Amino acid sequence: MKPIVIVENVSKIYAKHPDAHLGYGVRDLLGEVFGRRERSLREDEFFAVHDVSFALGRGDTLALIGRNGSGKTTLLRMMAELIKPDAGRIMMDGRVQALVALGAGFNAKLSGRENVINAAALMGLGRSEALGVLDEIIDFSELEEFIDSPVETYSSGMYARLGFSVSIYLRPEIMLIDEILTVGDHAFQNKCFVRMHELKKQGATIVLVTHSHTQAGQLCDQALWLQRGKAMRNGPSKEVIKDYLAFLNDEEAARVGELNRMKQERAEPTSVRLNSGLYGAIYDDLDNLEDVQVDFLVAGGVVNSVAMHDRLLIRYRFDLNRHFPFC
């Protein structure tokens, strides 16, 4: 099947101090005019996205996952043509709806109803087609009472709900979604998620940026893990998410281990450490305690970090300086 989304060797470079280097833009523009787009990094520059490639067919769904600052939103904005890549090419063969900033094209002085009709026109729908989906959009947004009020009077939540409703009812072929399935209350979020599944079944190609691994696994068949702008793995969503979570757990374990090592190096005497607990010492005759040690165990092994829902065993031991009778 012919791809309708192609991202080929795409890179985006940013400067850490862009205001101090406005001259870069002029030189880069001249380089682009003369066909010299590839270049090395300058001293204070970094790759927000570096040499990323993938292709999607009609009806494919892809989750972009990774930590904050890994390049997910930058990549999505390049796909939406909001910013230009510094290298590589992006091809989108279909009607694109970008849910990057919900309601970004709304006119604050116009009513919600008028903005819906304008948005439909920008998507290539005629007035009769726009009126045909108008009632569905209003009903989904749950803004019947306010639809004829200027959108400048809307709360941020109302604004986002109308923006999402417009986006999903204008029959997009390609949807680019950036962390917007959190609009409104819990019930509205569930309704948005159900609607996204319906669009998937109807053959829409979806690229989703999310920190919710549950949403990524349920909605998307594929996942692309980005780390500092580079593609770490691209494949079936559940497998990629599993590898990503394992990476995060290993990183956290290493971080906690290093913190524990640093604490031990500058540790105070045992008696002082015991007194500094949240609830105070369980046994306060500290002169008779020595060599107190505490271990956290999961599945029989000692760990430095604990994942959610793990069964945790806390094991502690110490030496007593004198005999105590047991009751």
* Complete DSSP assignment for 292-313: EEEEEEETTEEES---TT--EE
Do 307 and 187 belong to one domain?
no
Question: 302 is in which domain, residue-wise?
Answer: 246-320
Q: What would the two tokens of residue 285 be? A: 């005759």
DSSP assigned state of 321:
S
Distance in angstroms between the alpha carbons of the first and the last residue of the chain: 78
pTM over 0.85: no
Domain boundary among 209, 236, 263: 236
Residues 6+ apart with CB under 8 A from 278: none
C-alpha 244/C-alpha 111 separation (Å) is 44
Which of 248, 49, 204 lies closest to 240 in space, CA to CA? 248
Q: Do strands 45-56 and 5-15 pair parallel, antiparallel, or not at all (unpaired)?
A: antiparallel
List C-alpha distances in Å: 302 to 20, 189, 256, 267, 319. Answer: 50, 39, 13, 21, 21
Q: Among 32-36, 83-87, 312-316, where is mean pLDDT lowest?
A: 32-36
On average, the pLDDT of the chain sits at 81
* Predicted local confidence at residue 30, as pLDDT: 58
Tens digit of pLDDT for each residue in 171-204? 789 999 887 656 566 778 788 888 888 888 989 9
Domain boundary among 182, 213, 236: 236
Tens digit of pLDDT for each residue in 62-79? 999 999 889 999 999 999
C-alpha 283/C-alpha 265 separation (Å) is 25
State which of 52-66, 110-124, 179-193 shows the largest mean pLDDT: 52-66
C-alpha 57/C-alpha 177 separation (Å) is 17
Q: What would the two tokens of residue 75 be? A: 């990549």
Domain boundary among 204, 236, 268: 236
The answer to whether residue 278 scores a pLDDT higher than 50 is: no
Instruction: Assign residue 155 the CATH number of its domain.
Output: 3.40.50.300
